[in-house]
């Protein structure tokens, strides 16, 4: 690499670092994203001389066609996806990146193992690392994507699962060791690749849909590390820097998310949330009855309240009801009701999922309150309207030691004078456990699709 | 100091930079941040281009081509979807 190119790649690294930096502050976030994209453009053009092409050949055509196809797929995906399906989209793009990283490493391995110089240990380690982590991220992301799309979102578990997964991992590592020791056996390599794909599936299958944000964040950092590994393999500093930045910031983000749920990351990955269920037999011990309410009556409660707190959850996202929520909040605001939104850090399928949706519906920033900020004043709230949120308002997290979500910080909806829970049915949340809130004396259940119920509420509030 | 060691040096420093950068992020930016970093690892597109440029068998061409398509979708889609998300945050700040 010439020193001019090296200098350009330093500039690229700076653009990425500043990009991520700006992305972590609300005021500069969009600018940060553009900065990182600019870095990518520079890196792209700086890579062209590295390919040492002397004439336009078949590979060049394939490259151009491939880039255009990817651009079209990416653009269609990015602009057609509904805001509610954003988490799936990130999972899908991440999976593609992981797959690409695995393929790049594999190609290099297969090419060098057939060449005269062979594969040195210092080259084999990052190659195998990138293949393993990249393919795992690819298949894991596909499963995460499908789970978020509503396919087999329940945890899938069977006895001895962790043991079997461990065994597969051991075989993978064994094969890696064998390949590193100088054996250039293509079959062993392909078996390793296949097992890594399998391991990605096996790793994500037992995890419930509610934990997918954590999984996607983890797989995102995995892909970053795989890309860094590829950077070592093909000696590209900008890939090393970019991949490593994503890997380490992604790891920290994953830990922050787990912290918000008050669960160690090992519990998320190997806990198989709410599957064994031995301790949950206590469901019969819930006191109280479910008290349904009609929209008219609920509207009266809201219209004559002084302070209303809305707790949105995944149900709002599924029903695409964010605009109706804003309408209701505006209507109540006109009547002088103080309306706030309480956002649980892991409400929805991704941290910030609710913020994105409410922002789309033009809910003002200052109406959004984080969980810690709103909890101390929940007992001065007249009506707490829970829209499609479940586990994040379940008092079992506070009261019942045997509950799988015990210790998770929740929005203390039950402290409000009246709680109205909008829900399609009595189905359980993603944690698969009963919600004690639904049985409390001050809770009323408003059954039905969130959008339809909200429309009825808005109409009834207007009529009052 | 050999080049390998220098590269390793860059790698280790990058780990710390990545950790330091996002230690204080409001939770509402977690999704855009995840999506933005997701786009950054789309730099694998360059890796795909480099291996495709060196491909000399039909198999290598096919796999390299797939790597380029995947990487390209990752990088373009990633930046676009992040921008779309952040645009929404901005629009309502009137």
Residues A221 and A303 in one domain: no
Distance in angstroms (rounded) separating the CA atoms of residues A414 and A283: 19
Closest residue to B55, CB basis, from A59, A77, A244: A59
Chain B residue with Cα closest to A352: B28
Looking at residue A84, its pLDDT comes to: 73
- Sequence-separated contacts (24+) of A178-184 with Cβ below 8 Å: A179/A124, A179/A128, A180/A121, A180/A124, A180/A125, A180/A128, A182/A118, A182/A119, A182/A121, A184/A113, A184/A114, A184/A118, A184/A119
Q: Is A158 a residue whose pLDDT tops 50?
A: yes
Using the 3D structure, point to which of A248, A275, A302 is the last residue of a domain: A275
A87 to chain B: which residues are within 8 Å by CB?
31
Is residue A50 within 8 A of residue B38, CB to CB? The reply is no
Q: Per residue in B18-72, pLDDT tens?
A: 988 887 777 777 788 889 999 999 999 999 999 999 888 999 999 999 999 999 9
Residue B94 has pLDDT above 90, yes or no: no
Distance (Å, whole) CA A432 – CA A448: 20
Q: pLDDT value at position B1? A: 64
Considering the domain architecture, whether residues A329 and A426 belong to the same structural domain is answered as yes
A342 contact B CB<8A: no
Task: Report the distance separating Cα A393 and Cα A408, nearest Å.
Answer: 10
Q: Identify the domain boundary among A231, A260, A275.
A: A275
pLDDT tens by residue, A279-316? 333 444 566 788 888 888 899 889 999 999 999 988 88
- Give residue-wise pLDDT tens across range B65-90: 999 999 999 999 999 999 988 887 65
pTM equals 0.80
For chain A, the domain total comes to 3
Q: Of A36, A99, A351, which has the smallest distance from its Cβ to B30's Cβ?
A: A351
A374 phi/psi in degrees, rounded to 5: -95, -25
C-alpha dist (Å) from residue A268 to A214, A220, A393, A431, A452: 8, 16, 19, 11, 35
Least confident of A155-164, B6-15, B38-47: A155-164
Residue A85 in any domain: the answer is no
pLDDT tens by residue, A166-185:
899 999 999 998 888 877 78
Closest-CA distance, A409 to chain B, in angstroms, reads 14
pLDDT > 50? residue A222? yes
* pLDDT single digits (tens) A423-447: 887 776 666 677 888 888 889 999 8
Domain membership flag for residue A87:
no
SS3 A160: coil
How far is C-alpha A202 from the geometric centre of its chain's CA atoms? Answer: 18
Do A347 and A407 lie in one domain? The reply is: yes
Whether A30 and A119 share a structural domain: no
Token pair for residue A442?
Answer: 């001050």
Domain boundary among A275, A310, A339: A275
Residue B16 sits at the chain A interface (C-beta within 8 Å): yes
SS3 content of chain A, % helix, strand, coil (to 5): 65, 5, 25
On chain B, the residues whose CB falls within 8 A of the CB of A252 are 18-19, 22-23
What pLDDT shows up at residue A13?
92
| Distance of residue A338 Cα from the nearest chain B Cα, in angstroms | 20
List A211, A230, A391, A414, catalytic entry = A391
What ipTM did this prediction achieve?
A: 0.93
Residue B6 at interface with chain A, using a CB cutoff of 8 Å:
no
Considering the domain boundaries, does residue A58 fall inside one?
Answer: yes
Rounded alpha-carbon distances, angstroms, from residue A345 to A353, A396, A408, B22, B44 = 9, 18, 11, 16, 31
Host domain of residue A443:
280-463
Q: Is A129 on the interface with B (CB under 8 A)?
A: no
CA distances from A107 to A123, A235, A251 (A): 13, 15, 27
A391 is catalytic: yes
- CATH code for the domain in which residue A328 is found: 3.40.50.1220
Domain co-membership, A456 together with A341: yes
Query: How far apart, in whole angstroms, are the C-alpha atoms of residue A43 and residue A62?
Result: 20
Position A400 in a domain: yes
């Amino acid at each position: 690499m010439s020193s001019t190119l090296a200098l350009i790649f330093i500039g690229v690294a700076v653009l990425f670092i500043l990009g991520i930096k700006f992305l972590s502050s609300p005021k500069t976030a969009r600018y940060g994203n553009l900065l990182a994209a600019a870095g990518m453009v520079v890196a792209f053009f700086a890579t062209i001389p590295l390919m040492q092409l002397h004439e336009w050949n078949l590979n060049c055509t394939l490259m151009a066609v491939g880039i255009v196809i990817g651009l079209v797929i990416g653009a269609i995906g990015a602009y057609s996806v509904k805001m509610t399906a954003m988490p799936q989209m990130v999972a899908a793009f991440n999976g593609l990146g992981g797959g690409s990283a695995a393929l790049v490493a594999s190609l290099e391995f297969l090419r060098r193992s057939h060449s005269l110089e062979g594969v040195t240990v210092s080259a084999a380690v990052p190659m195998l690392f990138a293949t393993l982590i990249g393919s795992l991220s690819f298949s894991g992301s596909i499963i995460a994507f499908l789970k978020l799309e509503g396919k087999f979102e329940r945890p899938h578990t069977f006895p001895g699962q962790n043991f079997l997964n461990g065994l597969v991992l051991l075989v993978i590592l064994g094969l890696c060791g064998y390949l590193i020791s100088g054996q250039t056996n293509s079959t062993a390599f392909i078996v390793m690749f296949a097992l890594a794909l399998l391991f990605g599936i096996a790793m994500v299958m037992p995890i419930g849909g509610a934990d997918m944000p954590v999984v996607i964040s983890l797989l995102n950092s995995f892909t970053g590390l795989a890309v860094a590994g590829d950077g070592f393999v093909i000696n590209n500093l900008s890939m090393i820097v970019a991949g490593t930045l994503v890997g380490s910031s992604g790891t920290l983000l994953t830990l922050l998310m787990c912290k918000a749920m008050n669960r160690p990351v090992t519990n998320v990955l190997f806990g198989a949330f709410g599957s064994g269920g031995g301790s949950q037999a206590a469901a019969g011990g819930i006191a109280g009855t479910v008290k349904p309410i009609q929209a008219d009556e609920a509207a009266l409660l809201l219209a004559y309240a002084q302070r209303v707190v809305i707790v949105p959850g995944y149900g709002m996202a599924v029903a695409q009801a964010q605009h109706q929520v804003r309408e209701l909040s505006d209507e109540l605001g006109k009547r002088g009701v103080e309306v706030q939104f309480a956002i649980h850090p892991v409400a929805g399928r991704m941290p910030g999922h609710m913020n994105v949706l409410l922002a789309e519906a033009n809910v003002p920033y200052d109406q959004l309150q984080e969980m810690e900020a709103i909890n101390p004043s929940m007992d001065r709230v007249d009506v707490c309207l829970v829209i499609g949120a479940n586990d994040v308002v379940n008092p079992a997290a506070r009261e019942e030691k045997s509950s799988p979500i015990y210790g998770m910080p929740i929005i203390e909806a039950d402290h409000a004078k009246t709680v109205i829970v909008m829900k399609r049915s009595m189905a359980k949340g993603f944690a698969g456990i009963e919600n004690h809130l639904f049985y409390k004396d001050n809770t009323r259940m408003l059954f039905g699709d969130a959008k339809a119920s909200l429309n009825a509420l808005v109409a009834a509030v207007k009529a009052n | 100091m050999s080049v390998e060691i220098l590269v390793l040096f860059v790698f280790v420093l990058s780990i710390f930079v990545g950790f330091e950068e996002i230690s204080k992020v409001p939770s509402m930016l977690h999704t855009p941040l995840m999506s933005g970093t997701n786009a950054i690892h789309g730099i694998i597109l360059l890796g795909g281009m480099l291996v495709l440029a060196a491909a000399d068998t039909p198999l290598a061409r096919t796999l390299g081509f797939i790597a380029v398509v995947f990487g390209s979708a990752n990088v373009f889609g990633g930046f676009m979807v992040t921008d779309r998300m952040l645009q929404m945050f901005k629009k309502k700040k009137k």
